[in-house]
Amino acid sequence: MTTQSNNPLHGKTLETILNHLVAHFGWEELGLCIKIRCFNENPSIKSSLIFLRKTPWARLKVEELYLEVIKE
């Protein structure tokens, strides 16, 4: 079994990542950074999580943005 001590996403749930980004940017700015409907039209954590769990490319964009934010 490999360890993931160098992976900053290890142990972070998608919900935790999304909450962090919403707290950091707010929905409006997050929707400008990542142009997906669930961030721009009636955004909510629940609806966004449903979409992100079904859509790998969108989840990847969210994870990449999160990694940029935590580097700051």
Rounded to whole angstroms, the Cα distance separating 64 from 44 reads 20
Sign of the C-alpha dihedral, residues 50, 20, 30, 27?
positive
What's the per-residue H, E or C state across 9-50?
Answer: CCCCCHHHHHHHHHHHHCHHHHHHHCCCHHHHCCCCHHHHHH
pLDDT given at position 40: 94
pLDDT tens digits, 27-68: 999 999 999 999 999 999 999 999 999 999 999 999 999 999
Please report the domains of the chain, with CATH numbers, ordered by start residue.
14-71 (1.10.720.30)
